[in-house]
Chain A
Amino acid sequence: MGMALTGKAVPYKKGFGPFPADIYNVAFPNLYHGTSTAESLKALKALFKYQADPSSIAGIIIEPVQGEGGFNIAPTDFLQALRELCDEHGIVFIADEIQTGFARTGKLFALEHAGVKADVVTLAKGLAGGLPLSAITGRADIMDASNPGGLGGTYAGNPIACAAAHAVLDIIEDENLCARANAIGGIIQTRCRELAGRSNLNCIGDVRGLGAMCAVEFVKDTTSGEPSPELTAQVLKIANERGLILLSCGTYGNVIRFLPPLTASDALVKEGMDIFEATLNEAVSKLQ
Chain B
Amino acid sequence: MTVQLKTNDLEAFFMPFSANRRFKSAPRLLASAKDMHYFTEDGRKILDGTSGLWCVNAGHCRPRIVEAIQKQAAELDFAGTFQMGHLKAFEAASRLVNIAPKGFDHVFFTNSGSESVETALKMAIAYHRAKGNASKVRLIGRERGYHGVQLRRHRRRRHRHQSQMVRNRRRGRRPPAPYA
Q: Total interface residues on B, using CB and 8 Å?
A: 102
Whether the Cβ atoms of A170 and B64 lie closer than 8 Å is yes
Cross-interface CB contact of A262 among B58, B71, B77, B78, cutoff 8 Å? B58
Encode B97-140 as 1/0 by CB contact (under 8 A) with A: 10111111111111111111111111111111111010111111
- The verdict on A130 contacting chain B, using a C-beta distance below 8 Å, is yes
For the complex, give the distance between the alpha carbons of A30 and B142 in Å. Answer: 12
Whether the Cβ atoms of B112 and A20 lie closer than 8 Å is no
Whether the Cβ atoms of A28 and B135 lie closer than 8 Å is no
Whether the Cβ atoms of B145 and A268 lie closer than 8 Å is no
Whether the Cβ atoms of A1 and B55 lie closer than 8 Å is no
Given A104-B57, A126-B54, answer yes or no on A134-B146 (Cβ-Cβ < 8 Å): no
Contacting residues, chain A, for B89 (C-beta < 8 A):
157-159, 162
Given A2-B117, A96-B147, A247-B50, answer yes or no on A166-B137 (Cβ-Cβ < 8 Å): no
Interface residue tally on A, bucketed by range? 35 or more
Encode B21-48 as 1/0 by CB contact (under 8 A) with A: 0000000100000011010000011111
Whether the Cβ atoms of B145 and A28 lie closer than 8 Å is yes
Contacting residues, chain A, for B44 (C-beta < 8 A):
243
For the complex, give the distance between the alpha carbons of A5 and B147 in Å. Answer: 6
- The verdict on A59 contacting chain B, using a C-beta distance below 8 Å, is yes
For the complex, give the distance between the alpha carbons of A170 and B49 in Å. Answer: 23
Whether the Cβ atoms of A261 and B126 lie closer than 8 Å is no
For the complex, give the distance between the alpha carbons of A117 and B133 in Å. Answer: 23
Cross-interface CB contact of B140 among A57, A72, A239, cutoff 8 Å? A57
Given A61-B120, A145-B129, answer yes or no on A137-B146 (Cβ-Cβ < 8 Å): no
Given A2-B150, A23-B139, answer yes or no on A136-B110 (Cβ-Cβ < 8 Å): yes
28 residue pairs bridging A and B, Cβ less than 8 Å apart: A5-B117, A5-B140, A6-B145, A7-B145, A21-B154, A22-B137, A22-B138, A26-B141, A55-B133, A61-B120, A62-B142, A68-B144, A70-B144, A94-B120, A94-B124, A131-B69, A132-B112, A135-B93, A137-B106, A138-B123, A139-B105, A145-B123, A157-B93, A169-B99, A243-B47, A257-B50, A261-B57, A261-B60
Known interface pairs A27-B143, A130-B55; 18 further A-B residue pairs with C-beta atoms within 8 A, sorted by A's residue number = A2-B148, A6-B147, A24-B138, A28-B145, A30-B144, A58-B139, A59-B125, A63-B147, A92-B124, A96-B145, A121-B100, A129-B56, A133-B109, A134-B110, A137-B106, A138-B120, A157-B88, A165-B92
Question: What residues of chain A have their CB less than 8 Å away from a CB belonging to chain B?
Answer: 1-8, 11-12, 16-28, 30, 44, 47, 52, 55-63, 66-70, 72, 90, 92, 94, 96, 98-99, 102-104, 108-109, 111-112, 117-118, 120-126, 128-147, 150-160, 162-172, 175, 177, 239-240, 243-247, 251, 257-264, 268, 271-272, 275
